[in-house]
């Protein structure tokens, strides 16, 4: 079973590993630094004692004369350094440990230096030659009677001397210091983890705001927003994105609601008409001519329903986007020219002139959808243009590598920019006074023509806009050019 830890626990675990490794590193570094410090101090003490010992014994030839200079210069050795003397062949001849530790009692009665042994230090003898062979003149640690010493071997006047500095006090201090350091570092680690846990919990607390907002989302409360100013700087982009997402969701939901209402209205009216007409015709026997006339009316209604259904299917198709297999080279100049020739007769009936100008280009797209796109735009321009006017179709390439095709026409009635911005909404119809201004002609579509235009343009990764200027409306379609 795959168990995923919470973000809080994952953060704490990673932080714990990092802190523990850091504290272990700090512990050994501090311990090593203190140990090195004591070793340097001990080394300096032994070096100083060895120098004084050499100076004190310089010029003494007989072992029986060896002790007096050491005793007379005991303060020069100092630091509790103990001295052991040996002949050149390794025989112990003297020990002046009392002098070395600073004892003020002189050892006047000691005369048999060769009888000296190391029983008081837990050893029968010291093989000084082996120690010299192993360590030379370098300092080393030596255990005497379970007491640690830092030692060094020197030679002077054909005599061998072992200088031993007790370091048990240092070892005790290091042991106590190590324990205290461990306690301090463990306490610091626990404190850091507690602070980190609190910080992570407090830092993630704004996320509860998102959770609470998301739990309250439903179709009736899509207007809930998060106050960006109350969020920390790291979460403000997330809050802004959430608000943008909710705004789009609210707009889409409202659009879907209007779309559903419009579909229901568009389908309900003709279906109700068909049902009523059928009931009326079945209420009593009628003439064959009446049945035929009624069938014609029903056929027109069914064609309208079929057109609405086909347009809705086309909208659903284009909203899914286009695959690479659907994208082919389309010569837009040839396509526009064919459409102008097709609608030229219809435009002539209204005295409308279709004029094409500008620089067209070849784009990647679905030819049938592009034909439907500009067919809808040109037919709309003809039906809603003023009689005896001109429809201008111009093209040009923008700096953004887009083909911009603009269709301009003079409207039969005034239109505001607000109305123009709604032209691409589904089932939106612009009121037209053609009854009085165009010799009684009128046009009634499904209200989906320009919605299909917008959907096709979007499927081709383009944009479409409508701009009103002095009773002229400009529909601008921008389509990307192939790279």
Q: How many CB atoms neighbour CB 399 within 10 A? A: 5
Dist. CA 154–CA 66, nearest whole Å: 15
Dist. CA 395–CA 384, nearest whole Å: 22
Q: Strands, E, within 234-361: which ranges?
A: 328-331, 353-358
Distance in Å from the first CA to the final CA of the chain? 49
Where do we find the tokens 């190590």? 178
The encoded tokens of residue 474 equal: 């400009």
Contact status, residue 246 vs residue 213, Cβ threshold 8 Å: no
Where do we find the tokens 């407090």? 202
Answering whether pTM is above 0.85, one says no
The encoded tokens of residue 369 equal: 């959808």
Dist. CA 147–CA 470, nearest whole Å: 110
Instruction: Report the 3 state secondary structure along 76-91.
Output: HHCCCCEEEEECCCCC
Phi, psi of 220 (to 5 degrees): -100, -5
The alpha carbon dihedral of 234, 240, 246, 249 has a sign of: negative
What per-residue confidence (pLDDT) applies to 126?
Answer: 63
What per-residue confidence (pLDDT) applies to 226?
Answer: 81
The encoded tokens of residue 74 equal: 């005991």
Q: Which residues contact 105 (CB under 8 A, 6 or more apart)?
A: 98
- Collapsed DSSP state (helix, strand, coil) of residue 275: helix
Which ranges of 205-235 would DSSP assign to H, the alpha helix?
A: 206-215
Task: Please list the residues that pair with 391 across neighbouring strands.
Answer: 354
Phi, psi of 28 (to 5 degrees): -70, -35
Task: Please list the residues that pair with 477 across neighbouring strands.
Answer: 405, 464
DSSP 276-310: HHHHHHHSS---HHHHHHHHHHHHHHHHHHHHHHH
What per-residue confidence (pLDDT) applies to 79?
Answer: 66
Q: Strands, E, within 146-296: which ranges?
A: 147-156, 159-166
| pLDDT digit string, tens, across residues 272-305 | 878 888 888 888 888 888 888 888 888 888 887 8
Contact status, residue 391 vs residue 357, Cβ threshold 8 Å: no
Closest CA to 312 of 272, 259, 371: 259
The encoded tokens of residue 131 equal: 């120690």
Q: Which helix (H) or strand (E) holds 141?
A: strand 140-144
Where do we find the tokens 């909404």? 425
What per-residue confidence (pLDDT) applies to 59?
Answer: 54
The encoded tokens of residue 323 equal: 């695959």
Contact status, residue 401 vs residue 462, Cβ threshold 8 Å: no
Dist. CA 311–CA 317, nearest whole Å: 10
What per-residue confidence (pLDDT) applies to 58?
Answer: 60
Dist. CA 180–CA 34, nearest whole Å: 13
- What tens-digit pLDDT sequence spans the chain (483 residues)? 456 777 678 877 888 888 888 889 998 999 899 888 888 888 888 888 888 877 776 655 544 444 444 443 444 456 678 888 788 887 777 554 433 333 333 333 333 332 233 444 444 456 788 888 888 888 898 887 778 888 988 887 778 888 888 888 888 888 898 899 889 988 988 888 888 888 877 877 777 777 877 787 777 777 778 888 878 787 788 888 888 888 888 887 877 776 677 677 667 777 887 888 888 888 888 888 888 888 888 888 888 788 777 777 776 677 666 777 778 889 999 999 999 999 998 899 889 999 999 999 999 888 888 988 898 899 889 988 888 899 999 999 988 889 999 999 988 788 888 888 888 877 776 655 444 344 444 445 566 778 888 888 888 889 999 999 888 899 999 999 987
Mutual angle of helices 288-319 and 449-459, in 10-degree steps: 30
């Amino acid at each position: 079973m795959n168990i995923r830890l919470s973000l809080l626990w994952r953060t704490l675990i990673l932080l714990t590993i990092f802190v523990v490794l850091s504290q272990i590193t700090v512990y050994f570094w501090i311990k090593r630094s203190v140990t090195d410090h004591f070793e340097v101090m001990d080394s300096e003490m032994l070096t100083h004692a060895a120098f004084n010992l050499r100076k004190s014994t310089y010029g003494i030839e007989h072992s029986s004369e060896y002790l007096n200079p050491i005793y007379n210069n005991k303060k020069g050795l100092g630091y509790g350094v103990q001295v052991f003397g040996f002949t050149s062949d390794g025989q112990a001849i003297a020990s002046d440990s009392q002098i070395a530790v600073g004892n003020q009692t002189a050892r006047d009665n000691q005369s048999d230096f060769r009888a000296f042994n190391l029983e008081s230090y837990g050893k029968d003898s010291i093989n000084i030659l082996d120690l010299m062979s192993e360590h030379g003149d370098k300092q080393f640690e030596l255990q005497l009677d379970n007491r640690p010493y830092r030692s060094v071997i020197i030679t002077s006047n054909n005599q061998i001397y072992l200088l031993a500095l007790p370091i048990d006090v240092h070892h005790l201090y290091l042991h106590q210091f190590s324990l205290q350091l461990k306690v301090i570092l463990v306490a610091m680690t626990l404190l850091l983890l507690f602070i980190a846990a609190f910080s992570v919990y407090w830092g993630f607390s704004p996320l509860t705001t998102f959770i609470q907002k998301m739990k309250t989302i439903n179709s009736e409360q899509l207007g809930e927003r998060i106050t960006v100013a109350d969020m920390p700087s790291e979460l403000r982009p997330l809050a802004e994105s959430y608000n943008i997402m909710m705004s789009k969701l609210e707009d889409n939901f409202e659009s879907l609601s209007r779309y559903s209402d419009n579909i229901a209205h568009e389908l309900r009216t003709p279906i109700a008409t068909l049902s009523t007409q059928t009931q009326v015709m079945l209420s009593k026997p009628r003439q064959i001519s009446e049945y035929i006339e009624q069938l014609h009316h029903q056929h027109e209604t069914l064609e309208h329903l079929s057109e609405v259904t086909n347009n809705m299917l086309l909208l659903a198709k284009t909203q899914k986007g286009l695959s690479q297999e659907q994208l082919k080279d389309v010569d837009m100049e040839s396509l526009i020219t064919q459409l102008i020739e097709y609608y030229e007769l219809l435009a002539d009936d209204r005295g409308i002139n279709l004029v094409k100008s500008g620089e067209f280009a070849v784009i990647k797209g679905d030819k049938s959808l592009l034909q439907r796109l500009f067919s809808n735009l040109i037919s709309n321009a003809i039906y809603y243009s003023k009689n005896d006017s001109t429809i201008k179709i111009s093209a040009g390439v923008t700096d953004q590598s887009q083909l911009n095709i603009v269709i301009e026409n003079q409207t039969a009635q005034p239109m505001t920019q607000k109305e123009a911005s709604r032209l691409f909404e589904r089932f939106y119809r612009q009121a037209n006074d053609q009854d009085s201004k165009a010799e009684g002609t009128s046009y009634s579509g499904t209200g989906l023509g320009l919605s299909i235009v917008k959907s096709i343009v979007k499927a081709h990764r383009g944009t479409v806009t409508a701009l009103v200027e002095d009773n002229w409306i400009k529909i601008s379609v921008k389509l990307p050019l192939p790279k």
